Amino acid sequence: MSGVPTAEQRASWEERGFFRIRGFATPEVCEAMLRRVTRIVREPALAESVGVKLVPESNKAGMAVANPEDAMSKIFKLHRDGVFADFAHSTAVVDPVSELIAPDIDVFLSQFIFKTAGAWGQPWHQDSFYFPFEPARPVVGVWLAVTEATLANGCLHVLPGSHSEPVHTHVPDRRPGANYGYFEIVDHDMAGSEPVLMAPGDLLVFDSHLMHCSTDNESQGIRAAMVYHYAAAGTRDHTEEYFPTVNDWVPARRGGRAAAAPLSA
């Protein structure tokens, strides 16, 4: 998408730490993503061949559900697979993201978030807490609304301007039964936060120091999102020294153009 980021988006990036692109992905792409993850969750052999990591929704453990995906929180490591790889390596994504990072970038993390009815939100955090990298930044996240994101179904909330903060102390999510890997910031006033309401296909581009959270899904439907993270090629990743890692560094842009997506499993 040429002309992105626009001057207005660039100003929002500098001052607020994020910008939004309305109608970025087509309904067909969103539907294809949802169809594919549903197959992956229902077919263990497929999940294994794609090499994903499945993370169940902790607060639904042991609950009887109609379909396996109803109890699934996230699927990591999708960015080598079909529609997910195509999106991650598209010129429309990597060109604007490279303008925020460097000409040569890698996609190193991807996750599909199901957020089905009753799923809990993720508490206030900065993604860079999970990214002990050299150089530490810039790291850019892109959050694609696969379905609508509303106040009722657990949209994201962001604290504009918080990207200029260092990474704060994060403590394990204090809710009994909280999801695997959830940590939260408890030493910062989030009073200036705002919800990010999204239509299917809208994209949020955000700085990895931006404080953000999501609320519980109190609706009867799904609030699905596909999230990718990008950093400069050649970044040294120390995650393994701190956490079990699901990072998988794949070239996304080289020599001034989008790098080809790896062949799917």
Ligand X SMILES: O=C(O)CCC(=O)C(=O)O
Pick the closer one to ligand X by CB: 89 or 209. 209
Question: Which segment (26-34, 121-129, 165-173, 177-185) binds ligand X by CB under 6 A?
Answer: 121-129
Our finding on whether 214 is near ligand X (CB under 6 A) is yes
Our finding on whether 115 is near ligand X (CB under 6 A) is yes
Our finding on whether 122 is near ligand X (CB under 6 A) is yes
Pick the closer one to ligand X by CB: 50 or 185. 185
Question: Which segment (3-11, 23-31, 37-45, 120-128) binds ligand X by CB under 6 A?
Answer: 120-128
Q: Which of 113, 159, 210, 246 binds ligand X (CB under 6 A)?
A: 113
Beta bridge partners of 21: 203
Round to whole Å and give the CA distance between 66 and 263: 33
Q: Are 181 and 113 in contact (CB under 8 A)?
A: no
CB of 249 to ligand X, least distance (A): 18
Helices (H), the chain: 7-16, 27-42, 44-50, 82-88, 91-100
Round to whole Å and give the CA distance between 7 and 4: 8
Our finding on whether 207 is near ligand X (CB under 6 A) is no
CB of 245 to ligand X, least distance (A): 16
**CA max distance for the chain:** 51
Our finding on whether 227 is near ligand X (CB under 6 A) is yes
Pick the closer one to ligand X by CB: 101 or 259. 101
Our finding on whether 110 is near ligand X (CB under 6 A) is no
Closest by CA position to 187, among listed 239, 125, 229, 142: 125
Our finding on whether 163 is near ligand X (CB under 6 A) is no
CB of 217 to ligand X, least distance (A): 9
Round to whole Å and give the CA distance between 89 and 101: 15
**Cβ-based burial of 64 (10 A; exposed 0-12, middle 13-18, buried ≥19):** exposed
Distances from the Cα of 114 to the Cα of 28, 43, 163, angstroms: 18, 16, 26
Pick the closer one to ligand X by CB: 9 or 111. 111
- Give the binding site for ligand X (CB under 6 A): 113, 115, 121-122, 127, 154, 156, 212, 214, 225, 227
